Amino acid sequence: MTNNIQVQPKLEFIPPNFNPLVFQACKFVLPIWLRSRTPIAEIKAENLETLIDLYKQFQSNKIRFLIAFRHPSVDDPYSLMYTLNKLLPKAAKQQNVLLEKPTHAHFIYDRGIPLWAGSYIGWLYSQLGGTPIHRGKLDRVGLRSIRQLFVDGQFPMMASPEGATNGHNEIVSPIEPGIAQMGFWCVEDLLAAKRSEEVLIVPIGIQYYYIDPPWESLEKLLTQLETDSGLSGNSGFEFIPPDELKFISDREALLYKRLYGLGFHILELMENFYTRFYHKNLPQISPSSVTNSSELLCVRLQALLDTALKVAEESFNVPTKGNVIDRCRKLEQAGWDWIYREDIKNLEKLSPLEKGLADRIAEEASLRMWHMRLVESFVAVTGKYVYEKPSVERFAETTLLLWDMLTRIKQGNPFKRPKLGKQRVEIEIGNPLSVSSRWDSYKASRRKAVNDLTQDLQTSLEKLI
């Protein structure tokens, strides 16, 4: 969060412009980057023979396909690039399958990424064949680029149907229907061009596992979060785990108690924050109305997230409509509309008074988007994730999400997450879903066909966990 945001010209489209030299440089640097800048120590891929066959058919002009990958972590792009450019060619060679190089993919990215990661990222993504999209509005220019690449691009397409990272290895966020719609558009465009390629969507699962359980690092991080939130490790918080919840060790049981204690403490502080300063009446939930403390945390958390979104929606005059992800996207776009002004053709021609007012609006937009960013970090949080399976990965994911939240509130950089330990990445290629075979259904009812394909993709991604 910042208080010196100034009005900016509208966000221009960044056209994809694949550059083989830039790609080769990134391919060379990737192993070094993985070792030095990420916790990733090992990447494995299952069912690579499926991907080998798909690339072989693609390069023979028999199919067009889109890789739809799970997006639990910001490190996913590195894992996928390593898989496509290191593991895939190696496996193809072992099977005596000759693939044209490079085995790359055009990818769809959020236009907002270069805003927080740096403008050079927009240039880099362009040079790697990426194409941007505005998530919160009908982006005709972005969609036109995607359609063109899907039909005529040098490589297959790649995108995350979840739309953003959710911080969870074992939860798939509700996926957006855009991927299915893109598939049907590709079929339509191919038929219009009298081409016979089949269109497929290929689900890919990604999961991260700690090579050595980082319990000690987790304890230190929890202590830091307890201190930052004003909760003493010896506060006497009474949280008794349910009888059915079994732990391997006393250390896990204590960490579970501390984690939920911290969660309830932060929850109470945030509820008081929105009640006192934003005059919101959160629902009073009696512990007797739920079965256990985990369910109570879940219900209160969802009420808090809804309240935070309503505060932002009221500021931007955005109607409360859709699921949490839809609401976040609409608020993000509303904020951008106040900062990146499409209605101002030339900022240099504004009078000092007009410029000052425009800067004020941009600053307020940034402040109001802060509420949405908090919610965005917790889109997939259920409150029962660790309770259902108290693994070290689930402990770590939940603790890191709390770190994200406290870091945003402290006005720190949420993209500099602590690294708890070295990780192994497991990638699994799922069975392709044919879009072409659903064309008749699409002609009969576009909405139903898109919804059915979206649901089938959701199911396929969940089966890869």
**pLDDT digit string, tens, across residues 361-396:** 999 999 999 999 999 888 777 777 888 888 999 999
Q: What is the pLDDT of residue 45?
A: 97
Query: For 294-422, where are the E strands, in sequence order?
Result: 340-341
Q: Say if residues 372 and 286 touch (Cβ distance below 8 Å).
A: no
438 DSSP assignment: G
**How much is the pLDDT for 234?**
54
Residue 417 covered by a domain: no
Q: Is 342 exposed, middle or buried (0-12, 13-18, 19+ CB in 10 A)?
A: exposed
Structure tokens at 219: 């304890």
**Tokens matching residue 105:** 């993919």
Give the type of residue at 154. Q
Sign of the torsion angle spanned by Cα atoms 186, 191, 195, 200: positive
Q: Which of 404, 370, 379, 374 is nearest to 228 (CA)?
A: 404
Closest CA to 374 of 270, 260, 252, 243: 270
CA separation for the pair 388, 385 (Å, rounded): 5
What are phi and psi for residue 116, nearest 5 degrees? -105, -25
If asked whether residues 82 and 198 sit together in one domain, one would say yes
CATH of the domain at 428: 3.40.1130.10
**Joined tokens for residue 409:** 């509130």
∠459-325-106 over CA atoms, to 5°? 65
Which among 383, 409, 435 is the end of a domain? Answer: 409
**Secondary structure (DSSP) of 94-148:** HTT---PSP---EEEEETTHHHHH-HHHHHHHHHTT-EEE-TTS--HHHHHHHHH
For residue 157, the cross-strand partners are 66, 106
Whether 234 is in a domain gets the answer: yes
Evaluate whether residue 8 is within a structural domain: no
Q: Mean pLDDT of residues grouped by 10 in the chain (465 residues)?
A: 77 96 96 94 97 98 98 94 96 96 96 88 96 90 97 97 90 92 98 97 97 95 94 59 66 85 91 95 78 80 94 96 90 95 93 96 95 86 81 93 91 88 97 98 97 98 96
Is the domain of 226 the same as that of 91? no
Q: With respect to residue 65, please indicate whether it lies within any of the assigned structural domains.
A: yes
Same structural domain, 49 and 142:
yes
pTM value surpassing 0.75:
yes
Residue 6 lies in a domain: no
Measure Cα distances from 138 to 135, 141, 143, 318 in Å.
8, 9, 8, 16
Q: Using an 8 Å Cβ cutoff, are 221 and 418 in contact? A: yes
Residue 3 lies in a domain: no
Rounded Cα distance between 421 and 439, Å, is 47
42 and 118 in a single domain? The answer is yes
pLDDT score of 237: 52
Q: Residue 204 sits in which domain range?
A: 13-211+423-463
Asked if 187 and 268 sit in the same domain, the reply is no
- Residue type present at position 194: K
Number of domains composing the chain: 2
240 and 318 co-located in one domain: yes
Residue 180 in contact with residue 392, Cβ under 8 Å?
no
Locate 249 and state its tokens.
């060790």
Does residue 394 share a domain with residue 453?
A: no
Query: Would you state the pLDDT for residue 1?
Result: 39
| Dihedral, CA of residue 202, residue 389, residue 292 and residue 276, to nearest 10 | -60
Q: Which of 366, 383, 409 is the last residue of a domain?
A: 409
Same domain? 133 vs 273: no
Residues 6+ apart with CB under 8 A from 359: 5, 6, 7
| Backbone φ, ψ for residue 302 (5° rounding) | -65, -40
First to last CA, the chain: 35
Residues 436 and 377 in one domain: no
Residues 30 and 165 in one domain: yes
In three-state secondary structure terms, 287 is helix
Task: For residues 240 and 193, state if they share a domain.
Answer: no
CA atoms 38, 44, 47, 49: torsion sign: positive
Report yes or no on 1 lying in a domain.
no
Token pair 């402990």 in the structure block, residue: 395
One domain for residues 182 and 300: no
101 found inside a domain = yes
Amino acid letter for position 181? Q
